[in-house]
Amino acid sequence: MTKRVLIIEDEPNIIEAISFILSRDGWSVDTHSNGHDAVAVVLMRAPDLVILDVMLPGRSGYDILTDLRAQPETRDLPVLILTARGQARDRELAEKAGASHFMTKPFSNADVIEALNALVAQ
């Protein structure tokens, strides 16, 4: 069965690129582009996996992730943090908030696919 992935990202071109490669790999792709209601959207759509940007309009990705980890439904949901902020401190913050995986932009398309497959395989 196809796995459903939710991309939470505000940069349209990046959404389009990830959507394309994931669809091509057989994923069912959903997108969302602001931080305000991101938690509610995740709960409502109940994806198998989430790709989460950090610098979102309205709310930081870390805060969204912390909230998700506090909900029983999404406590174990695989979440991949994908951010343009690539400093060591950002990786720590992501791990602290409960990220399943951490990747920085720009990324290699193959790496993203590989990481996602590894996450859903666990």
Residues of this chain that bind another protein (CB under 8 A): 10-11, 13-14, 16-18, 20-21, 24, 34, 55, 57, 84-87, 104-110
Nearer to another protein, 61 or 77 (CB): 61
In DSSP notation, 14-53 reads: HHHHHHHHHHHTT-EEEEE--STTHHHHHHHH--SEEEE-
Residue 57 CB, shortest distance to another protein, in Å, is 4
CA dist., res. 74 & res. 70, Å (int):
8
Nearer to another protein, 24 or 75 (CB): 24
Give residue for tokens 């912390």: 66
Residue 49 CB, shortest distance to another protein, in Å, is 18
